[in-house]
Amino acid sequence: QKVEDPTVESVSNVPDPIALQEIEFKNVCFSYSDDGPDVLKNVSFKLKKGDRLALVGTTGSGKSTIIRLLAKTYTGYRGSIKINGTELSEIPIAQVRETISVMHQEIFMFNDTVEFNIALGRKNISQTDVEQAASFVYASRFIDQLPGGYRFVIQDNGDNLSKGQAQLISFARAIAGNSELIILDEATSAVDSITEQYIQQAIANIFSTKTVIAVAHRLSTIRNSDLILVLEDGQIIERGTHTELLEHGGKYARLLHQIEAEHKQN
C-alpha cells in the first residue's frame, strides 16, 4: 500500500475549489462552429448554493450544451456565465474542475480497478474516501460481491459491468471528489428495477447534500428539484417547480405524460 506524503500534496499546484455561492447565466448564446446556428439562445437562469436545478426538454434542445459550457468543455459563448460574480472565461479550467464534478451522459470506464475508476488518480482521495463514496451512492453492495471487491478489474467500456453498475460507479466517482457542485447528465439506458431503486436513492442522497444541476429524465429526479428549466430548440420556454409547471399545463405537462407513459412500459 502506497502512502502519499501529505507535504507533497500541500505544495502541489492544484488550485483550491471556489466556495460556491451563486452561478448566473445571462443571455447566453452558443454555436458549436463559427458559421453554425446558435444551439443556445439567450439562456438566463440563476442558481444558489444548495439549489437543485433540473434541465428537461426533448433531444437536441441544448441541455448537455449548457453543462458543457459551465464545465468549460467548450468555450466561446456569448453573453455571460458567472460563478460568484466572476466571468467563467476568467476562471482557470483547473479551478473549474476542482469546483464542479460532472457525470456525463456517456459513462466512461477505464480498464483498471474499481478503486481507480472511482478515485481516478486524484491525490487527495484516499481508499476510505472511495469506499465512503461508493456506500453513499449504493454502489458498495455490488462492489463487495465482485471478485476482489475494489480491486476487481473493469474492462474497457465497462463491458464486464451492467449499465446500472457503471452508473453507480460514475456516481461514486463524482461524489468522491467532494465538489461543491455536481452536474448530472442522467443516462437514459434502462436498468433492472432493483438497480433503478439504488440509482434513485443515490440521486436523492446527492440531492440532499450538494448543489446539483441535473439533465433529468427520471420523474423522481425532476420532482425533487427546486427549479425546472424546460428547453426547446436552445431556448428556455418554461421555468418553475414541478407543481407550478403542471398547473401551467404547457410543454412540461406534456413531456411529463410522455415520461410517465415510458415508465409504465418498463
Alpha-carbon span 113 to 154, nearest angstrom:
6
DSSP assigned state of 234: T
Q: 61, 167, 170, 195: which one contacts ligand ATP (CB under 6 A)?
A: 61
In the complex, least distance from residue 183 CB atom to Mg ion, rounded to whole angstroms:
12
What is the phi/psi pair of residue 134, to 5°? -60, -40
Positions of E strands within 92-226 = 100-103, 181-185, 211-215
Which region among 62-70, 131-139, 140-148, 256-264 touches Mg ion (by CB under 5 A)?
A: 62-70
158, interface contact from Mg ion, ligand ATP, none, CB < 5-8 Å by kind: none
Q: 20, 23, 64, 115: which one contacts Mg ion (CB under 5 A)?
A: 64
Cα-trace Rg, the chain: 19
Query: Which of residues 61 and 99 has its CB atom nearest to ligand ATP in the complex?
Result: 61
57, interface contact from Mg ion, ligand ATP, none, CB < 5-8 Å by kind: ligand ATP
Is 39 a residue that touches ligand ATP (CB under 6 A)? yes
Query: Which of residues 17 and 234 has its CB atom nearest to Mg ion in the complex?
Result: 234
In the complex, least distance from residue 230 CB atom to Mg ion, rounded to whole angstroms:
15
Is 72 a residue that touches ligand ATP (CB under 6 A)? no
Distances (CA, A) of 132 to 70, 129, 139, 176: 27, 5, 10, 8
Is 242 a residue that touches ligand ATP (CB under 6 A)? no
What is the phi/psi pair of residue 32, to 5°? -70, -20
Alpha-carbon span 47 to 52, nearest angstrom:
8
Bridge partners (DSSP) listed for residue 235: 232
Scanning residues 193 to 232, which ones bind ligand ATP (CB under 6 A)?
none
> Which parts of this chain interact with ligand ATP (CB under 6 A)?
32, 39, 57, 59-65, 105
